[in-house]
A = this chain, B = another copy of it.
Amino acid sequence: MPGSFGYVETRRVVLFTEDDPLVLSSGATLAPVEVAYETYGTPAPDGSNAVFVCHALTGDAHAAGHHGDPARTGWWDTLIGPGKPIDSERLFVICPNLLGGCRGTTGPSSPDRTTGRPYGLRFPHFSVSDLVAVHRRLLAHLGIRRLYGAVGGSLGGMQVLQWALDRPGEIEHAVLVCASSRLTAQNIALSAVARASILGDEHFCGGDYYDSGRNPDVGLSVARMLAHITYVSERGLELKFGRGRLREAPTFGVDFQVESYLEHQGRSFLERFDANSYLYLSRAMDYFDPFADEEGAVERLRDSGTRFLVVSFDSDWRFPTAHSAEIARVLERAGCTVQLEEVSSPWGHDSFLLEVPRYHELVAGFLGAAVAVR
C-alpha cells in the first residue's frame, strides 16, 4: 500500500537579493525574491534522484504530506509519496510556489522594499521563462545540477516544457500533463473575462486593496467560478449534479445543485488566493508561446536527450488532446523520445489532480517506479 509522506513543513529561502537581483526576460529586475518550497524524500549523494514539481495557476508549494492534520494533504498527495508514482522513497521531490504567487513566494502582495507597501500592479510582468529561472536558482541552492525528472500539469507542464527549451539537457525525464504550448483565442478570451471581473471589482482599487480591509472578492470569485467550469467536463458536471435542484421555485440565489457547488468553489478560493497573483499568472499563460519560433525550438531540443511523457485527458476541454499532440509533434521533429498518451477520464482538465489509474501508471512507469505492477 502506498503511504503518505506524513508531516512536512514549508521552507523559505531568499534566492535573489538587491546585490544579485532576478533579471526578468523583459529586462526588469526584482529583488529580493523569496521562494517557499517543500521537499519530499532524500537527495542521493550525487543529486541524481531529484524530481522537480511545477504547480498550476493556483497551486502552491504544499504538494504532498500534511501540515499537522493528516486529513488535509497537499494538492498532489495522490501522486507523490512512498510507493506512489512519484516515489519519495526513491526520489527527492522539490515543489516551490511560483514567482508572482501568493503562498510564500514573492509576488504582487509582497512588500516592495522601495516603498514598504505591497507591489500591487507595480509588480513587473514576468514570463514562464522567468518562472523557470527562479526554479533553477532554487535547484542550485539545493546543490542539484540536473533533474532526473520535472513534472507539471497545466501551467506546470508549460514550465517543464519551457525549462526543456531554455536549458536543453538539464531534465532527463519531462512529464507534461494536460499542458499547452499555446493558448487558443478561446482560452485567452476566457482568461480575459476572468480578469475583467477582477479589474472591475469595486474593491480592486487599481490593485492597491491590501491595506483597505476589503478585497476584490466578487471579481475573484466570479473569475474562479468561470475558470472552474473549464476545469471540469460537461459530462462530469452532468454526472455529479445534472439538473438537481435545491428549490422548487425560481430565485436568484442557489436554486440548482451545480450552483451550490460553483458558489462554494468561488468562496473557498478567496481564502487562499490573491487577485493580483491571478492577474499576473494568467497573463503569463496567455503570452506563453515557446514554439512561435518553431525552427529555433527544434534546434534547441535536438540532442538534448530529454525524454518526454505527454499526457492528455479525453474530456479536457481547457487544453484538449490537440494541445498535447501539438507539443509532441514539435518534440518529435527535434528527434526527442516522446510518449504521447490520451487517458480516458470523465473529469476534464482537473483529472491531472485526481487519482486516475491509467494516468498514475503512466507517470510511475515513465519515472521508473514499480507501483504499477505491485
By a beta-carbon cutoff of 8 Å, the part of chain A in contact with chain B is 26, 121, 125, 182-186, 188-190, 192-193, 195-197, 199-202, 218-219, 221-222, 225-226, 229, 234, 237-238, 240-243, 249-252, 255-259, 262-263, 266, 279, 283-284, 286-287, 289
Q: Are A193 and B289 in contact (CB under 8 A)?
A: no
Q: Which of B200, B238, B284 contacts A222 (CB 8 A)?
A: B200
Residue of B nearest to A190 (CB): B229
Apart from A125-B250, A125-B251, A190-B229: 18 A-B pairs, beta carbons within 8 A: A183-B243, A184-B234, A185-B242, A186-B238, A186-B258, A188-B259, A189-B229, A192-B256, A192-B262, A193-B229, A193-B262, A196-B218, A200-B218, A202-B202, A226-B226, A243-B289, A250-B284, A252-B283
- What CA separation (Å) do A192 and B250 show in the bound complex? 13
Shortest CB-to-CB span from A268 to chain B, Å, is 15
Q: Which of B221, B258, B283 contacts A196 (CB 8 A)?
A: B221
Q: Which of B192, B249, B258 contacts A259 (CB 8 A)?
A: B192
Residue of B nearest to A292 (CB): B243
Shortest CB-to-CB span from A153 to chain B, Å, is 21
Q: Are A286 and B196 in contact (CB under 8 A)?
A: no
Q: Are A252 and B240 in contact (CB under 8 A)?
A: no
Q: Quick one: given A189-B258, A259-B188, are A266 and B229 in contact (CB under 8 Å)? A: no
Task: Please give me the 10 A-B residue pairs with the lowest Cβ-Cβ distance, nearest first.
Answer: A200-B218, A202-B202, A185-B237, A125-B250, A185-B258, A186-B234, A185-B241, A192-B259, A193-B225, A197-B222
Residue of B nearest to A241 (CB): B185
